[in-house]
Amino acid sequence: MEFVIVTGMSGSGKSSAVDVLEDIGYYCIDNMPPELIPTFANICTKSEGKITKVAFVVDIRGGDLFLKLTDTINELKANNLSIKILFLDSSDDVIVRRYKETRRKHPLDEVSYGNIRRAIATEREMLSGVKEYADYYIDTSYTSAIQFKQRIYDIFLEDNSDYMHIDVVSFGFKYGYYGEADLVFDVRCLPNPFYIPELKNKTGLQSEVSEYVLQFDDAKKLLSKLEDLVDFLIPLYKKEGKSQLVIAFGCTGGKHRSVTFAEALSKHLSDENMKIRITHRDIEKK
């Protein structure tokens, strides 16, 4: 049996996550009171294999019942059930924009007297304890629907118990910070191919750009030191039971230097038989 609890900020994409989980075979229940989860889990374990994967959406719509979620998680783990917590988040500005676009009321609208930012701040405080339990954390602020779906696929389509998922991402600071990263490396300190006319409209996926970026001694030393650092950190993360590691490289526009370094580190990790997924968030932006 596999149990997944989907929680996080209102407006961060929990409904979309459940849609994807349902597509890949999870029995999904929305707005489940935490105290009922152990009872339902017990029913599932007696279903003789009819239900093998279950996802619950638990959030502040449950009111005071939501406050029992951490107790429920501890109870499930004490009963040796396979339980994973997926926590979804977004920046305050993105959540505000999404609520304005949908014209829906925030679940805490009444207690915050209609002030959406006050509601968001209250919700963040209520979720702070649950966030610490998260096995997977996704910031959907700057993630497209396709990228979000692929992230869910990568996490839940395979057995994660024997290895760590490592996501290597390139992004451009001008398009927003990559908030879900565990490690962020800013490579704007290196010469920018953007100012080379013949390289300006190319990307780090092309050899002319990557060779330009990595021709400098500082770039070579930086890459070597980052490889050593990541090689040192990964076993420590694994030892602590972390099953997902997100490493991000940022440059100005997310097309040249960050892409080059993301590709170079991914190759290094792949050569060491790590499970890698690489994403270039802003490479197509103009």
Q: Tell me phi and psi for residue 197, to 5 degrees.
A: -50, -45
Residue pair 175/142 in contact (Cβ under 8 Å)? The answer is yes
Residue 158: band (very low, low, confident or very high) from pLDDT cuts 50, 70, 90: low
Give CA 145 to chain center in angstroms. Answer: 13
User: How far apart, in whole angstroms, are the C-alpha atoms of residue 260 and residue 166?
Assistant: 17
Beta bridge partners of 278: 168
Query: In this predicted structure, what is the pLDDT of residue 162?
Result: 42
DSSP string for residues in 89-135: E--HHHHHHHHHHHTPPPTTTTTTTT-HHHHHHHHHHHHHHHHTT-S
Residue pair 262/280 in contact (Cβ under 8 Å)? The answer is yes
The full set of domain ranges for the chain reads 2-156, 165-280
Alpha helices in 201-276 (DSSP H): 207-214, 217-239, 257-271
| pLDDT tens-digit series, residues 142-151 | 888 888 888 8
pLDDT reading at 160 higher than 60: no
CA dihedral 243, 246, 247, 249 (to 10 degrees): 170
For the chain, the average pLDDT equals 90
Query: In this predicted structure, what is the pLDDT of residue 102?
Result: 87
Residue pair 285/175 in contact (Cβ under 8 Å)? The answer is yes
| pLDDT tens-digit series, residues 200-234 | 999 999 999 999 999 999 999 999 999 999 999 99
pTM for this prediction? 0.61
For residue 17, the surrounding DSSP H or E stretch is helix 14-23
pLDDT reading at 1 higher than 90: no
Residue 138: band (very low, low, confident or very high) from pLDDT cuts 50, 70, 90: very high
Query: In this predicted structure, what is the pLDDT of residue 244?
Result: 81
Q: Which residue in 255, 241, 240 sits closest to 199, CA to CA?
A: 255
User: How far apart, in whole angstroms, are the C-alpha atoms of residue 283 and residue 278?
Assistant: 12
Sheet holding 136-139, edge to edge: 27-29, 53-57, 2-8, 83-89, 136-139
232-257: average pLDDT: 89
pLDDT reading at 2 higher than 90: no
Query: In this predicted structure, what is the pLDDT of residue 241?
Result: 60
User: How far apart, in whole angstroms, are the C-alpha atoms of residue 249 and residue 170?
Assistant: 5
Fold (topology level) of 2-156: Rossmann fold (3.40.50)
pLDDT reading at 189 higher than 90: yes
Query: In this predicted structure, what is the pLDDT of residue 165?
Result: 78
Query: In this predicted structure, what is the pLDDT of residue 163?
Result: 55
Give CA 62 to chain center in angstroms. Answer: 24
User: How far apart, in whole angstroms, are the C-alpha atoms of residue 188 and residue 261?
Assistant: 11
> Any idea which residue has 């800013």 for tokens?
186
The DSSP 8-state label assigned to residue 68 in this structure reads G
21-37: average pLDDT: 90
| pLDDT tens-digit series, residues 99-125 | 999 888 999 999 899 999 999 999 999
Residue 137: band (very low, low, confident or very high) from pLDDT cuts 50, 70, 90: very high
